[in-house]
Amino acid sequence: MILLNAIMLMAPSGGANGQAADPIQSLITTLVMFGAVIGIMYFMMIRPQQKRAKEAKLLLESMTKGDKVVTSSGIHGSIVEMDEKTVTLQVSDNARIKFEKVAIVSILNKNNK
């Protein structure tokens, strides 16, 4: 509380000529600074996240049978079956594992039929 009072006493209470500060100008300055912070947050955080989400969606839509893929847990395999939400990967000759599509993080090479 004492620190707050000291800061308020040190803050200038008027303009350059000893006049009272214009409350409209102070409000505009505050709004401009608030808008700048929102703009910086958008371009530094929100926009890149939206770009990554769009790329992930395109990756999932481009998968086809026979593609070699990697899951989020690091399992490599080839797609042998697909439906709306899941893919079945063949990881060896006799081993098939079913995953959610969102678990696929990269396509190593596209099947060129």
- What is the mean pLDDT, run by run of 10 residues, along the chain of 113 residues? 48 53 86 92 89 90 91 93 92 92 88 55
| Architecture in CATH of 24-109 | Roll (2.30)
3-class DSSP assignment, residue 84? coil
* pLDDT at residue 22, as a whole number: 84
In this prediction, residue 6 carries a pLDDT of 46
- Predicted pLDDT of residue 23: 85
Sequence ranges of the domains in the chain? 24-109
Q: What is the per-residue pLDDT for 7?
A: 45
* Alpha helices for 1-113 (secondary structure H): 2-10, 23-41, 47-62
Whole-prediction pTM value? 0.58
Structure tokens at 70: 């990697």
Q: How many residues does this entry show for the chain?
A: 113
pLDDT of 86: 92
